[in-house]
Amino acid sequence: MDHLQMIEDESAAFLEAVLSGSLDVPVPPCPGWTMTDLLGHLGVVQWFHGSHLDRGVTDPPPGPRPTPPADGLADWFREGTAVLLDTLRRLPPDALAFTFDPPNDTVSFWHRRMAHEAAIHRWDAQLARNRAVGFQVDQAHDGIAEYLSVFLPRSRADDAPEGTVVLTSEEGATQSTSHGDPDAARATVVGSADELWLAVWGRQSLVDLDVEGDLDLVRSIVNR
């Protein structure tokens, strides 16, 4: 999977959707945000990570994140995407870098993370324009894997229900996550790869898919 090409393609599609209408419209998956807020958010993320990865250290980057400009926001976003891609293409994937996934403290972490960040927010922007387009199957499977291995362990409450949730995509991939005693309870969820990826990120209801087992256990793995 070419994550760098994905960053380029998804960022371009994101910006096209954002600029295809008023920037004041709300973005339903991001309550309280308008298109301006969404554009500023992804721009800040890309500028920030494109600017600190060449330090060659795993310490958190110093200083505040950049502030989106009041004018020229689209050009600023394009420049930030270019800076990010230049940095990621220039650095060896195994170069040391700050990440929030200790098993992988290398630049390669950001190849994947920035690709999925752009993809999910591209979908958000397109949804706000009533023309959301899905994802490539392998992209969605990879996004689910990233969520379960990187984000869920950081966000799941210590007192979350114990047990195992198995996510099975209609395209044939099965992934699972456990908390506490893996045999305490069990639930399975079946849906398309798109549906499962969007659901774990709270873009649609996971429990409205084909679920068998403990619904509270299923709800506990969703990012809210």
Give per-residue pLDDT as tens, 134-143.
Answer: 999 999 999 9
Q: Is the dihedral of CA 160, 29, 68, 42 positive or negative?
A: positive
pLDDT at residue 71 in the model: 93
Which residue from 221, 223, 14 is spatially nearest to 115, judged by alpha carbons? 14
Residues 98 and 185 in one domain: no
Q: Convert the pLDDT of each residue in 103-121 to its tens digit.
A: 899 999 999 999 999 999 9
Total count of domains within the chain:
2
**Average per-residue pLDDT in the chain?**
96
Which residue from 217, 28, 46 is spatially nearest to 127, judged by alpha carbons? 28
Work out the average pLDDT over 187-206.
96
Residues 157 and 93 in one domain: no
Q: Is 51 exposed, middle or buried (0-12, 13-18, 19+ CB in 10 A)?
A: middle
Contact between 46 and 11 (Cβ < 8 Å): yes
Residues 123 and 163 in one domain: no
pLDDT at residue 18 in the model: 98
Residues 162 and 66 in one domain: no
- Answer whether residue 160 is part of any domain: yes
- Helix or strand or coil: residue 72? coil
Residue with tokens 């995509």: 169
pLDDT at residue 223 in the model: 78
- Answer whether residue 199 is part of any domain: yes
Residues 148 and 43 in one domain: no
pLDDT band at 180 (very low <50, low <70, confident <90, very high): very high
For the sheet with 174-179, list strands across it: 174-179, 163-169, 186-191, 210-213
Query: pTM for the whole thing?
Result: 0.95
Cα separation, 13 vs 16, whole angstroms: 5
pLDDT at residue 19 in the model: 98
pLDDT band at 163 (very low <50, low <70, confident <90, very high): very high
Q: Convert the pLDDT of each residue in 24-61 to its tens digit.
A: 999 999 999 999 999 999 999 999 999 999 999 999 99
pLDDT band at 207 (very low <50, low <70, confident <90, very high): confident
Residues 7 and 115 in one domain: yes
Query: Tokens at residue 97, please?
Result: 């870098």
Residues 190 and 86 in one domain: no
Q: Convert the pLDDT of each residue in 64-95 to its tens digit.
A: 899 999 999 999 999 999 999 999 999 999 99
Cα separation, 194 vs 170, whole angstroms: 10
Query: Tokens at residue 159, please?
Result: 């007192």
pLDDT above 70: residue 224 = no
Residues 88 and 34 in one domain: yes
